[in-house]
Amino acid sequence: MSGRLMRTICAVSLMAALAPAAGCSDEGGTPSSAVSRASAAVASATASAKAQLDKIEGGTKATRDVTAGPVSFNGQGRATTRLTVTNSARQTASFTILVNFRDADKHLVDAVVVTVRSVRPDTPTKATARSHRALSGKVTAQVGTAVRY
């Protein structure tokens, strides 16, 4: 699959996944201001992911090579998950991974992109994905897209 096609697929998939995301917070204000803040966070995550994915040339979809562990929260309230990348290719490769954080109702609450460089074949390599902002409640992490290059 060409790099340009893969970037387009990833960007369109990300935008489709992030488009319905909106939520409320305890930061005060009206429900519409909470939706505006959530929309701004989603827009920022989308722009960041697109910029990362646009840098990839000649990538191959490798979502099956990556797993996300349980979510915990750091001292700033940001959700974190441990990623395990196992390169199924024959050569050392780098991976760019889109990680989606979802609430208990499966709504997308944040998305981050993690790059893991120089992963040797059949050697599990660990990385950490951290949300852009503080999240709360039951949050899960899932690998949205992974590209090996």
CA distance 124 to 132: 25
Q: What is the pLDDT of residue 71?
A: 98
What is the pTM assigned to this prediction?
A: 0.73
Contact 122, 87 (CB under 8 A): yes
Q: What is the pLDDT of residue 96?
A: 95
pLDDT at 73 over 60: yes
In sequence order, what are the residues at sequence separation of 6 or more whose Cβ sits closer than 8 angstroms to the Cβ of residue 13?
Answer: 144, 145
Q: What is the CA radius of gyration of the chain?
A: 16
Q: Choose from 11-15, 96-100, 126-130 the range with maximum mean pLDDT.
A: 126-130
Average pLDDT, the chain: 80
pLDDT in tens, 21-45: 434 444 555 655 656 666 677 667 7
Q: What is the pLDDT of residue 66?
A: 98
Residue 83 backbone zone (phi > 0: left; psi -120 to 50: alpha; other: beta): beta
Domains of the chain: 3-148 (2.60.40)
